[in-house]
């Protein structure tokens, strides 16, 4: 019997059964009402676990964070129709969640056969920690984190699945939900950098253990920094008591990891022969004519650019991540721990507000070592001697290359921003608005579009808005946003912000469109700086079928 005739609760057409780790049937299904794909977990109502699963899923359904896979509905009792082998009287509990296209962490590791670099793993851990911190602020916990719960979506967006479902069906790791999540986060870090799971094989990943217990990650795989070892151990031994503690420790650990990978600089410095350092000063002098024809700093520039490029890229990534988490870091970690735990209040020992300053000082020191180390190397290994009898006067004579640079600043050259990722944004609805179509608004094609669901009025049936959130990858000056709508008649606001979940009631707008044409451009002579651009639809046109539906065919951001 084909999948079209197989349905649950008269609404969800069961399409493809999905392999899973929770031990009950899981399906991709089409919601016949909202015309979107969803995931359906089915458990016989007679299963003794069903009451606790219902309770857990109803509780976590309040978590509408974009980082978590949302529970859309809990159907306490429904029948599957269209399958002759199943009794029509059989009742099932149905858990309906978002359908997310992507690849889980365990499948990514097994498919590529490669582990994550230390800094990349810490970046992923930071994103997961923020998702968990949001859940903890709502008195919710995951309590059973595994690699299959981490989903890499389009453009490597990180989503966390299994809230409520996994722990209710398979059991919690620890009764203290916060500590279970902290420990689970450390295990995920271990898996990313080693390709194995502590103690027992999990999700197809082999077990990692030793006679004395769980080994340090660096004892299992090479190339892992000491900071990763320390963070993993801190998640396991109880040093970190809240998710905010984890975020702060990972932020500092990322800087330490960057510093550890910058060690080749010190090797360059130590490579200079001692004899050259003790050589007579005359060896560093030369006739002015020869110095004018040489360019030791020019070759230094090339070497420092090649050797320092990786350090600057890592440092820039770290600083951006610190700035994004600054709001979290400034919250006192003495904040009362939620009801999920009875652990005592924890105080940060030291000044949290100095973290960014310490990071900048560390990076500045590293770059200074790079520049001066290479300068010393260049000067010590370049021969300036000449057989000429011209007096040695380079200290008092000006260099020909020391001419002043032009002070004129070139005018801005407009360019189109590269969109790092795009997603639907529906904070005042059910949390999703055709998320699988979002990428169609930046695919460069005129015949594909992201569309809203159908509404009964142009003002989105009373909802204040819905839209698309574009991630530019880093904060940039935005001058314009060009929008190709599916039809004329849309009203929209365009926001630029550094908040990945902007508040449209208080955010600053770049501009607005009122009942606009199919093609509209929102621009400003004075740019707004931010990482995220939100195209927020506030009114949509009526279609030929007599309902209201909005749509965006293409959106581009001008810098």
327 and 445 housed in the same domain: no
328 and 471 housed in the same domain: no
Across 174-234, the runs of DSSP E, i.e. the strands, are: 197-198, 207-208
Report yes or no: 74 and 54 within 8 Å, Cβ to Cβ.
Answer: yes
Which of the listed residues 80, 98, 116 is the one where a domain comes to its end? Answer: 98
- Per-residue confidence (pLDDT) for residue 360, from 0 to 100: 63
309 and 436 housed in the same domain: no
pLDDT in tens, 254-309: 888 777 665 544 444 444 443 333 334 343 444 444 444 444 444 444 444 444 45
pLDDT in tens, 8-47: 999 999 999 987 888 899 999 999 999 999 999 999 999 9
* Number of domains composing the chain: 4
Three-state helix/strand/coil letters over 448-512: CCEECCCECCCCHHHCCCEEEEEEEEEEEEEEEEEEEECCCCCEEEEEEECCCCCCCCCCCEEEE
Percent of the chain, pLDDT > 90? 50
CATH code: domain of residue 84: 3.30.200.20
Rounded-to-integer distance, Cα 499 and Cα 495, Å: 10
Domain for residue 348, yes or no? Answer: no
326 lies in which domain range?
262-336+353-381
Rounded-to-integer distance, Cα 119 and Cα 317, Å: 9
pLDDT in tens, 464-485: 899 999 999 999 999 999 999 9
Domain for residue 401, yes or no? Answer: no
Q: Residue range 238-264: average pLDDT? A: 83
Domain for residue 341, yes or no? Answer: no
- Per-residue confidence (pLDDT) for residue 279, from 0 to 100: 39
271 and 375 housed in the same domain: yes
Rounded-to-integer distance, Cα 554 and Cα 422, Å: 12
Rounded-to-integer distance, Cα 499 and Cα 200, Å: 39
Helix then strand count (H, E) for the chain reads 14, 19
113 and 69 housed in the same domain: no
Q: Which of 64-68, 286-290, 505-509 has the lowest mean pLDDT?
A: 286-290
463 and 536 housed in the same domain: yes
Helix (H) or strand (E) holding 112: helix 105-112
Which of the listed residues 43, 72, 98 is the one where a domain comes to its end? Answer: 98
């Amino acid at each position: 019997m084909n999948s079209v005739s197989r349905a649950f609760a008269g609404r969800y057409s069961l399409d493809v059964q999905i392999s899973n780790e929770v031990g009950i049937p899981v399906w991709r299904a089409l919601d016949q009402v909202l015309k979107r794909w969803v995931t359906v977990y089915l458990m016989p109502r007679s299963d003794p676990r069903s009451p606790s699963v219902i309770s857990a899923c109803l509780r976590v359904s309040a978590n509408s964070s974009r980082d978590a896979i949302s529970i859309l509905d809990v159907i306490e009792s429904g029948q599957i129709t269209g399958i002759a082998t199943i009794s029509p009287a059989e009742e099932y509990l149905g858990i309906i969640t978002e359908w997310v296209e992507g690849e889980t962490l365990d499948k990514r590791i097994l498919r590529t056969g490669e582990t994550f670099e230390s800094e990349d793993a810490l970046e992923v851990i930071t994103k997961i920690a923020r998702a968990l911190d949001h859940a903890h602020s709502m008195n919710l916990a995951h309590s059973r984190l595994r690699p299959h719960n981490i989903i890499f979506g389009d453009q490597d967006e990180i989503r966390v699945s299994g809230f409520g479902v996994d722990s209710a069906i398979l059991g919690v790791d620890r009764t203290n939900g916060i500590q279970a999540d902290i420990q689970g986060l450390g295990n995920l870090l271990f898996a990313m950098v080693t390709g194995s799971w502590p103690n027992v094989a999990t999700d197809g990943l082999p077990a990692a253990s030793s006679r004395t217990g769980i080994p340090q990650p660096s004892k299992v795989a090479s190339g892992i920094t000491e900071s990763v070892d320390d963070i993993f151990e801190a998640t396991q031994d109880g040093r970190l008591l809240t998710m905010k503690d984890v975020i702060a420790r990972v932020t500092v650990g990322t800087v330490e990891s960057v510093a550890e990978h910058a060690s080749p600089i010190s090797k360059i410095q130590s490579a200079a022969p001692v004899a050259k350092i003790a050589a007579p000063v005359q060896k560093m002098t030369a006739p002015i004519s020869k110095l004018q024809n040489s360019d030791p700093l020019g070759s230094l520039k090339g070497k420092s650019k090649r050797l320092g490029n990786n350090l600057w890229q890592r440092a820039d990534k770290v600083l951006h991540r610190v700035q994004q988490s600054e709001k979290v870091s400034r919250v006192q970690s003495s904040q009362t721990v939620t009801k999920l735990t009875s652990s005592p209040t924890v105080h940060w020992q030291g000044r949290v507000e100095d973290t960014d300053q310490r990071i900048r000082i560390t990076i500045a020191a590293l770059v200074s070592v790079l520049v001066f180390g290479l300068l010393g190397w260049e000067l010590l290994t370049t021969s300036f001697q000449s057989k000429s009898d011209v007096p040695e006067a380079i200290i008092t004579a000006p260099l020909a290359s020391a001419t002043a640079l032009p002070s004129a600043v070139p005018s801005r050259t407009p360019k189109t921003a590269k969109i790092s990722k795009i997603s639907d944004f529906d904070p005042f609805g059910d949390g999703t608005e055709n998320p699988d179509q979002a990428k169609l608004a930046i695919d460069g094609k005129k015949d594909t579009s992201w569309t809203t669901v159908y509404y009964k009025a142009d003002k989105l049936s009373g909802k204040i808005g819905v839209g698309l959130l574009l991630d530019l990858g880093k904060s940039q000056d935005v001058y314009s946003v060009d929008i190709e709508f599916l039809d004329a008649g849309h009203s929209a606001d365009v926001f630029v912000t550094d908040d990945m979940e902007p508040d449209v009631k208080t955010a600053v707008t770049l501009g607005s469109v009122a009942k606009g044409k199919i093609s509209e451009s929102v621009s400003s002579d004075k740019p707004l700086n931010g990482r995220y651009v939100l195209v927020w639809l506030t009114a949509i046109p009526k279609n030929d079928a007599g309902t209201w539906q909005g749509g965006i065919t293409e959106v581009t951001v001008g810098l």
